[in-house]
């Protein structure tokens, strides 16, 4: 497949610096960037909630706090000391 791309000055400079750093042809770098972007694309069936859950699990945020597990119900009690 042949793809023509016109980049602005900033992206062009970034791509050239990447090419110099990796010492690879631009076609190989572009193919790797595209492959990574396609692999990381959200699946159509993935909801925003499941995406956030996956990110939180990946970074160890889920289960990192101790407590009763009812914060969504009684958060005011924990934040302000009230039961309202």
Predicted structure pTM score: 0.46
Q: Is the pLDDT of residue 61 over 90?
A: no
pLDDT, residue 47, reads 83
For the chain, how many residues are written?
84
Count Cβ neighbours within 10 Å for each residue of 22-58 and write b for 16 or more, e otherwise. eeeeeeeeeeeeeeeeeeeeeeeeeeeeeeeeeeeee
Q: How confident is the model at residue 84 (pLDDT cuts 50, 70, 90)?
A: low
pLDDT, residue 83, reads 66
Q: Is the pLDDT of residue 76 over 90?
A: no
pLDDT, residue 32, reads 93
Estimate the crossing angle of helix 26-40 against helix 9-22, to 10 degrees.
110
């Amino acid at each position: 497949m042949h793809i023509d791309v016109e980049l602005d000055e900033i992206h062009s400079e970034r791509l050239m610096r990447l090419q110099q750093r990796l010492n690879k042809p631009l076609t190989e770098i572009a193919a790797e960037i595209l492959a990574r972007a396609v692999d990381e694309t959200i699946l159509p069936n993935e909801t925003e909630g499941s995406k956030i859950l996956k990110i939180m699990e990946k970074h160890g945020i889920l289960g990192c706090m101790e407590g009763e597990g009812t914060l969504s119900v009684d958060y005011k009690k924990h934040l302000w000391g009230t039961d309202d």
